[in-house]
Structure 1
């Protein structure tokens, strides 16, 4: 399974959530996190890793190998055991590596993700129509689209819903942190919200490589919500295998104040909770 995690504006914590998903992915699966942010990677500095192997070495090797194990061969291991293909710090190197990988139909990621009991989680950073990470999103089995529930970010989501609907067969909207209530955001944008990730500084610190015996991804609020999102994503993908049809699109009922209504809305990736708000 190939899961893309991205945003439309700002930095709402895509890398942190992608790392949390990998750390809390359901047992029995073998997750690999790939840092494919065109703006450059953070994980090498955050976890004090070496600069190789990396996304750059993967791109070089992909020119001459079709081995489905290639992605794993260019991964390093985080302190908690999660395998990660780190992105280069510089944007120029990151974009060059992504251009090479995209030219092959994202084959190394796709081949690895198609292996039994293997999940590839890709941090695609902020996405726009010119992003070299967009081919990865298009080839993914699920897209998690993150936004803070603030006016500026929600306005961008409202304007780009129709475009984002074309990026992935299974788009999913996830809120990050405090702001407008989940139910209100869902009603205003006409988008079922799959989940809301809390601002959790302690949990983020653990995921950032700062060891603390009193806190772990499993115990943190961030870790618990990431586990729930991971379970929903995996369950929905398994249920939908063999059925490539898109669900019908429901137009939004209203817009963020001052923002024109788009023609289409994102569809939910997983089931809603009992109160229908995703919280």
Structure 2
């Protein structure tokens, strides 16, 4: 399966949630987090990863060999497989441009494997984003936003278009602000999950803060685990079928493509 994580405004923690989902993925699929942010990546510097195995090298290799994702992934201290993006935005956009023009995306090919769950961090997205091809090919899109008036105003303006980017768009709130019920009522869409503002949990996820328990016992980790379980369950249970009406689903009725779970 292939899951795209993105936002429409600001930086509500797309990379952090992508890594948290990978760290708490319920399995049995092996999760791989791919940093496909056109603005450049953070994982390489955050975890002091190699600059050799990155999105840039994957994009170049797809022209010559088949599925290369597994060969390019690196490991975080907790064992999570990641493919970091380049720090520079120019390199990131160039790599994503190559992936977009490839006959078959290596992310999609890896996501088609029954033993792999690819979680793509697509950063902030607009209609001209080079990461949009990844989102369109994904099995689900997690659209993140902070529940604040300024961000929700932008979401309201772009939501109709964003819903057409994915066959299974899911709305996720991150951090402090309005209550879930208020946001759902104002935007007239269900909210799949609310991820709490958890600085210590984010630090533990990044190997900082001196925590030995990692994200497993943090509020962020628990919320990510619940979201991952709900998302995986809906993707496994759903029966693919054509639908012209995108669905934004709640935890009670997880993301699906018009089919009952």
TM-score, length-scaled by structure 2: 0.93
Kept after mapping to 2: 8 A contact 1:192/1:268: yes
Q: Partner residue of 2:259? A: none
Q: Partner residue of 2:108? A: 110
Q: Secondary structure at the match of 2:192?
A: strand
Q: How far does the alpha carbon of each residue in 1:212-256 deviate from its partner, in whole angstroms, 9 at most, with x for none?
A: 34442110100000011111111111121333435x46xxxxxxx
Partners of 1:31 and 1:81 in 2: how far apart? 10
Q: Secondary structure at the match of 2:216?
A: coil
Cα offset for 1:165? 1.1
Q: Partner residue of 2:69? A: 71
Structure 2 residue runs without a partner (length 5+) = 255-261
Partners of 1:27 and 1:143 in 2: how far apart? 19
Instruction: Please list every run of at least 4 consecutive aligned residues from structure 1 whose deviation after the TM superposition is greater than 2 angstroms.
Output: 211-215, 241-246, 269-273
Q: Partner residue of 1:4? A: 4
Structure 1 residue runs without a partner (length 5+) = 250-265, 274-279
In the alignment of these two chains, the number of paired residues is: 254
Q: Secondary structure at the match of 2:164?
A: helix
Q: Secondary structure at the match of 1:124?
A: strand
Q: Partner residue of 2:248? A: 267
For 1:200-219, what aligned pairs fall within 5 Å after superposition? 200-210=198-208, 212-219=210-217
Kept after mapping to 2: 8 A contact 1:3/1:142: yes
Q: How far does the alpha carbon of each residue in 1:14-50 deviate from its partner, in whole angstroms, 9 at most, with x for none?
A: 0000000000001311010000000000001111112
Q: Partner residue of 2:165? A: 167
Q: Partner residue of 1:29? A: 29
CA 1:27–1:238: 2 relative to 1, 3 Å: closer
CA 1:209–1:52: 2 relative to 1, 3 Å: farther
Q: Partner residue of 1:221? A: 219
Kept after mapping to 1: 8 A contact 2:200/2:209: no
Q: Secondary structure at the match of 1:222?
A: helix
Q: Partner residue of 1:55? A: 55
Kept after mapping to 2: 8 A contact 1:74/1:85: yes
CA 1:105–1:147: 2 relative to 1, 3 Å: farther
Q: 1:193 aligns with which of 191, 194, 202?
A: 191
Task: Kindly report the root-mean-square deviation, in angstroms, between the aligned alpha carbons of the 2 structures.
Answer: 1.5
Partners of 2:229 and 2:46 in 1: how far apart? 26
Q: Partner residue of 1:19? A: 19
Q: Secondary structure at the match of 1:218?
A: helix
Partners of 1:145 and 1:200 in 2: how far apart? 19
